[in-house]
């Protein structure tokens, strides 16, 4: 399924913890695509894109940590 980069002006979920795993993965791909696009075109990323990149990465890390803890 093709997806588009998530531009800084596009809507972004307020609470990432409410997203399903597939929805979070799509969001992560869209944010990553925008970050790479900005860096390739301007050599610097928009502050909003960097914030979104870090927010999504943080949510992914939290979910991975909880998955790891379930095995204990």
The pLDDT value given to residue 68: 86
Q: What is the pTM of this model?
A: 0.89
Cα 34 to Cα 1, 9, 62, 71: the distances in Å are 17, 11, 23, 35
The pLDDT value given to residue 62: 96
Maximum C-alpha span of the chain: 46
Residues with Cβ within 8 Å of 13's Cβ and at least 6 positions away in sequence, in order, are 19, 27
Q: Are 46 and 38 in contact (CB under 8 A)?
A: yes
50-72: pLDDT as tens digits: 999 999 999 999 999 998 888 77
The pLDDT value given to residue 30: 97
13-51: pLDDT as tens digits: 999 999 999 999 999 999 999 999 999 999 999 999 999
């Amino acid at each position: 399924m093709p997806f588009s980069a998530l531009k800084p002006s596009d809507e972004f979920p307020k609470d990432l913890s409410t997203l399903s795993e597939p929805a979070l993965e799509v969001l992560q791909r869209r944010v990553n695509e925008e970050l790479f696009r900005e860096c390739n075109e301007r050599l610097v990323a928009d502050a909003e894109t960097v914030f979104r990149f870090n927010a999504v990465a943080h949510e992914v890390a939290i979910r991975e940590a909880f998955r790891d803890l379930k095995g204990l």
